[in-house]
Amino acid sequence: MRTVRKLYAAVYFFVLYLPILLLIVFSFNDSVYIAFPLKSFTLKWYEAAIQNAQLLSAFSNSLIIATVTSVTATSVGLLGAMATTRYHFRGKTLASGALFAPLALPTVVTGVALLSIFMMTGIGLSIGTVILGHVMICTPFAYGVMVSRFDGLSPDYERASMDLGEPPIRTFLRVTLPLAMPGVVSSLLLTFTISFDEFILAFFLSSNSPTLPVFMWSQMRFPDRLPLVLALATVVIVVSSVLIIVSQLLRRRRDR
C-alpha cells in the first residue's frame, strides 16, 4: 500500500509539473521547434525578448496595471473587511456576500459586460479599463485575506486607542494599519500576481495597449517566435512563484 501511495503521489506531481518543466527546458534550447532531442543550451531567446520593444511595452503595461490594481483592490478589501468585522449594520451578511460574489462570475461574462459598458458609454479602452476589470476580480481575494486578518484581531486594540484620546482616523493609522500590515502585504502580493497573470479580461479590455499575457498570445500566430514566448513564460513563472512564496511565508509568520 505504501508503495502505491508513493507511486500515486509521484505520478500526480509528474503530470502536474511536466509541461511547465518542459516549457522551461525548451526556453533554453537552441531550436525554434519544440522537439526532442534537445539541441545546445542558449540564452538567445532571452536576449531576443529583452530587445523586443513590443514585449517591453507590454511588460511595462502589465507592471503598471498590476501595481495600481493591487493597491486599489487591497485598499477596497481592507475597508470592506473593517466594515464587516468591526461594525454591526443591517444587511451585513448581504454586503459580505456581495464582496465575495465576483469570484463566482465567469471572467468571460465579466469581460463581455465591461466591454459593452465601455463601448456604450464611449469611455474607450485603455490601461485604465483593464485596471478597472482587474480591481473587480481581485477585490474578493483582497477582502478574503483582510477578513481573516481582522477576525484574528481583537477590536479592543482600536477601542483602547480611541479611549486613550485618538480619534478614528489617527487610531486607524497608529493601530489598525500596523496590526493589519501582514495581511496588507500578503493581499498586495496575491492581487499583484492575479492581475499580472490574468488574460481574459486583459484580452477584452486592453485594445492597443496589451498586457504581457495578451502579447504572448498574439505571438503564437508566428511559429518562429514560440521560443521567445517560452522564455517570457519562464520569467513570468519565476516572478509569480517568488511572489506567491513570499506571500505564504508572510502569512505563516503572522499565524505563528
Partner 1 sequence: MTDDFISLQSVRKTYGSVVAVDSVDLDIAKGSFFSLLGPSGCGKTTLLSMMGGLDFPTSGKIFIDGADVTKTPSYRRPANMVFQSYAIFPHLNVAENVGYGLQRSGLSKADLNRQVEEMLDLVHLGGYGNRKTDQLSGGQMQRVALARALVVKPKVLLLDEPLSALDKRLRQNMQIELRAIQREVGITFVFVTHDQEEALTLSDKIAVMARGQVLQCSSPATLYDRPLSREVAEFVGEMNLIPGTVRDVTTTGVSVDMPCFGTRRLQAGTRRFLVGDSVCVAVRPENFHLSEAPEAASMRVTNRAYFGSHIHLILTTDGVAPICADVPAATARRLRDIDGEGVVSVDFDEDTAVLLPGKE
- Residues of this chain that bind partner 1 (CB under 8 A): 154, 156-157, 159-167, 170-171, 174-175, 178-179
- Residue 152 grid cell: 484574528
Q: Would you say 124 or 178 has its CB closer to partner 1? A: 178
Q: How far is the CB of 151 from partner 1 (least distance, A)?
A: 15
DSSP letter assigned to residue 223: G
Distance CA 98, CA 191 (A): 18
Name the residue nearer to partner 1 (CB basis): 168 or 223.
168
If the CB atoms of residues 47 and 151 are measured against partner 1, the closer one turns out to be 151
How many Cα atoms sit within 13 Å of 216 on the Cβ side?
A: 21
Which residues are registered as beta bridge partners of 41?
29
CB 173 to partner 1: min, Å: 11
- Note whether 220 and 140 are within 8 A (CB): no
What are the grid coordinates assigned to 100, written together?
465575495
- CB closer to partner 1 out of 174 and 239: 174
Nearer to partner 1, 34 or 185 (CB): 185
Q: Judged by CB, which is closer to partner 1: 16, or 164?
A: 164
CB of 189 to partner 1, least distance (A): 20
What is the closest distance, in whole angstroms, from the C-beta atom of residue 172 to partner 1 in the complex?
A: 12
C-alpha cell at 5: 501511495
Question: What single-letter amino acid sits at 160?
Answer: A
Judge whether 66 and 202 are in contact, CB under 8 Å.
Answer: no
Find the shortest distance in angstroms from Cβ 80 to partner 1.
23
Smallest gap from Cβ 210 to partner 1, in A, equals 42
Q: Are 139 and 77 in contact (CB under 8 A)?
A: yes
The grid cell for 32 is: 525554434
